[in-house]
Amino acid sequence: MTSEAQAAAPVPVTKSTGHRLGITGREWRNLAIAAVLFALAAVVPLVGSGYVQSIAISIAIYTALATSWMLFSGPTNYISLATAAFFGSGMYIVAGGLDLAPYPVLVLLAGVAGALFAAVVGLATLRISGVYFVIFSLGLAELVRQIITWLQHVLGTMSGLYVYVDRSEEMFFWQLLALTAVVYLVGWWIGRSRLGFALRIIGNDELVAVHCGINTARAKVILFVISSTFAAIAGALVAPRWSYVEPTIAFSPFLSFQVVIMALLGGVHRLWGPLLGVIPFTLLWELISANFPAQTTLLLGAAFLLIVYFIPNGVVGLIEDALRQRGEWLKSLRLLLVRRSRDA
Amino acid sequence: MRRRELLKYGAATTVAASFGQRIARAADPSVIKFGVVGPKTGPLAPGAAVTHFPNFKLWAYEINQRGGLKLKDGMHKVELIEYDDRTQPPETIKAVERLATVDKVDFIMPVYATGFNLAVAPIYAKYNYPLVTQACVTDQMDQLIKRYPNIFFVQGSTTSFAQAAIDILKKLKDDKQIGNKVAVVNVADDFGIELANAGRPIFKKAGFDIVYDKSYPLGTQDLAPVVKAAKAANPDAFVAWSYPPDTFGLAEQAKIEGLNVKAYYSAVATAFPGFYQKFGPAAENVLGAGGIKDTPEIRAYYKAHKEATGVDADYWGSPFYYSLLQMITQSIEGVGSMDLKAITAYLKSHTFKTIVGELDIRNQKLDKFYTVGQWQNGFFNAVAGVGFTDYSPVKLKTSWG
């Protein structure tokens, strides 16, 4: 719990450099680094082949999904398996509405619908906790899938919907990259707001949070809504790339699981944690499916076992351990040098 | 610590071995590389294991047996590079991109199932690979053909399958062999819903009285209530727009309950060899989607398929899948090189001799296919279709044996 307690330390707003927003010099530096990294990422599809582009798109999708998942589930410790429910809903809003409204409007609409849907679901279910919430969230995608199937049955429409929007692969990537940037900005803003502070207290002990006078239900619903809105928008952005949307594919439980696994592999107590899970996970899976096409699932299972065995705290934990070790090593080196000079 | 090190070295060796395998694979430059992507895992894997992968294996085996593909500069052996898409569209897209830009294959075979073929259609178009789709049933063929000059369709539309099944029943009714009462059930999923929706007006128009009309969710274990209620409605014919698990489940219950209708139809998977293997003589005269004409060429195909791949081919997609591979082979050899645009043009300008007969795909749609089959003496004979002239006569179902 110690690392969580450290992560839960409030942002020192009072120690600001005098700027109105209270952004410290260190934060400015981090923002600048992030901006440079995003600019570099944006160049990737221009220099890479079609294959590199498709990997970059996978990474962008899962970074957006895993990071937005982590916004809610990271601080609160509520493991949500509902990503596919919102992702699929976003897809269906685009697929179903393409004859009625222009595509950009539908993307916004998907976000709004995702937010409303999450608000209703959140108000109804975020009072339950632990394993009950996990199971409910898993059932949610299946519920939406059944409702859409039923609607198609009643309305007598086709089971698959066609999404014809002309977009190049580069464009898909940039759109998703832009979404990821927004997720990061929002995540950063939450992290330094009162809301983020409240959520970390909820995650550590909900009872304590209630006693502190935090409206826990409200805080959780707000975060759940933000997180789900991004999932719905991601679905809306990806729909034209799939060309054809049907319930079994759009609401695939695999997606929800993959997002959780990637986020946990990276680490959920830092905003950039999920990214460090998504990139190695995507590349590892790519390596396995390219070289052992007949045994992907088997080898992936073995890879999971090794990961859990070697890096139980996620990639972030690994990096922090390494930094700490280096720090200690430097300290001992300094001591040694000091002693040597004193002896001399 | 030793154990960890052992694991580390083990993992490193595996990775190194995998790269070795990859380098070895790309050794011989005269070999023509064909890419195959399909679901080896995930919900669609069982279907692909029967209809998708074995046909390519059989085809490559036969081509190499006869010395290879005959191009202008001599004979070339063929090699398949297979990837698993885990039944997820983004994976299919990635695997096709990998084939096109990393493996730089000479040709890419179609992927498996409707949604997946449509998802990769833009990539095939981008790199000029012809996309001769199989297991791709859509009512939007004309729009898609307009969009992609390199796409080809081998199967009919959803409506044509429902229409054909109902036409068979109508003929039996008009010949006074059965009455006009029909019980219709469907699985509440993709194809089942589409067929049910397409079928309802056609039944009405054909003068049928739908005495029972009910859907059940995909994965329903207990189909006894469905069959019992259908039987209670006392129908003359029973039609199930069903999927693989329930096609088997419904037949099982119909046998137990003694649903002795004179015409019994179930949609997907009735054409699987496993259906007859499970029910034996009780499956006699069951109607279903698909079917194939019993000829010596087809018999030889089933035998070769079993020998080369170890699995039985089905009586619907499999022989047509193989036929389209014959069409591709003839186009490549006709062009004499792996010029993809020329191969597409060849497909669009020639007719082809295949195991199912002379085929014509000049306007990007196959001119003929079978729609309804019936189990007769252990063979799923075609009793209806589009474009063919010779069908087996329909027999009445007497009992479940």
Tell me the CATH number at A128. 1.10.3470
Q: What is the pLDDT of residue B7?
A: 55
What is the mean predicted confidence (pLDDT) over B27-45?
86
**Max mean pLDDT range (A72-76, A338-342, B108-112):** B108-112
pLDDT above 90 as % of chain A: 31
**What are the tens digits of pLDDT across the range B245-297?**
889 999 999 999 999 999 999 998 899 999 999 999 999 999 999 999 999 99
Task: Report, at the CATH architecture level, how domain B31-157+317-367 is classified.
Answer: 3-Layer(aba) Sandwich (3.40)
Contact call for A243 and B118, based on CB within 8 A: yes
Contact call for A296 and B84, based on CB within 8 A: yes
Range of the domain at A68: 2-269
B88: nearest CB among A49, A252, A287:
A252
Confirm whether A291 is domain-assigned.
no
The model's confidence at residue A8, banded by pLDDT at 50, 70 and 90, is very low
Split into its structural domains, chain A has a count of 1
**What are the tens digits of pLDDT across the range B140-170?**
788 888 889 999 988 777 788 889 999 999 9
CA A310 to chain B, closest CA, distance in angstroms equals: 8
Running DSSP on this structure, what letter comes out for residue A82? -
Q: What's chain B's average pLDDT?
A: 88
* CA–CA dist B135, B154 (Å, integer): 8
Residue recorded with tokens 């789709």: B133
Task: Report chain B residues whose CB lies below 8 A from the CB of A305.
Answer: none
> Token digits for A148?
């859409």
Contact call for B118 and A290, based on CB within 8 A: no
The model's confidence at residue A20, banded by pLDDT at 50, 70 and 90, is low
Domain boundaries along the sequence of chain B: 31-157+317-367, 158-294+371-386
Q: What is the pLDDT of residue A188?
A: 92
Residue A13 scores a pLDDT above 60: no
Q: What's chain A's average pLDDT?
A: 85
Contact call for B100 and A51, based on CB within 8 A: yes
Q: What is the identity of the amino acid at B290?
A: G
CA A220 to chain B, closest CA, distance in angstroms equals: 32
Contact call for B147 and A164, based on CB within 8 A: yes
Decide if A291 contacts A100 (C-beta within 8 A).
Answer: no
pLDDT above 90 as % of chain B: 64
Confirm whether A70 is domain-assigned.
yes
Q: What is the pLDDT of residue B230?
A: 94
pLDDT above 70 as % of chain A: 92
**What are the tens digits of pLDDT across the range A77-111?**
888 999 999 999 999 999 988 888 999 999 999 99
Task: Report chain B residues whose CB lies below 8 A from the CB of A292.
Answer: 18
Q: What is the pLDDT of residue B252?
A: 93
Residue ranges of B 66-105 with Cβ closer than 8 A to chain A: 82-84, 86, 88-91, 93-95, 97-98, 100-102
Q: Is B140 in CB contact (< 8 Å) with chain A?
A: yes
Confirm whether A285 is domain-assigned.
no
Q: Which residue has the higher pLDDT, A116 or A142?
A: A116
Confirm whether A280 is domain-assigned.
no
CA A141 to chain B, closest CA, distance in angstroms equals: 16
Confirm whether A295 is domain-assigned.
no
Residue B102 scores a pLDDT above 70: yes
Confirm whether A146 is domain-assigned.
yes
Instruction: Report strand pairing: B74-76 vs B357-360.
Output: unpaired
**Nearest of B173, B158, B33, B13 to residue B104 by alpha carbon:** B33
Q: Do domains B31-157+317-367 and B158-294+371-386 have the same CATH topology?
A: yes
Residue A1 scores a pLDDT above 70: no
What is the mean predicted confidence (pLDDT) over B91-107?
92
Q: Which residue has the higher pLDDT, B67 or A6?
A: B67
Specify burial of residue A17 (Cβ count, 10 A radius: 0-12, 13-18, 19+). Answer: exposed
Q: What is the pLDDT of residue A11?
A: 45
* CA–CA dist B383, A165 (Å, integer): 41
Of A108-112, A173-177, B216-220, B332-336, least confident by mean pLDDT is B216-220
Fold of the CATH domain B158-294+371-386: Rossmann fold (3.40.50)
The model's confidence at residue B18, banded by pLDDT at 50, 70 and 90, is low
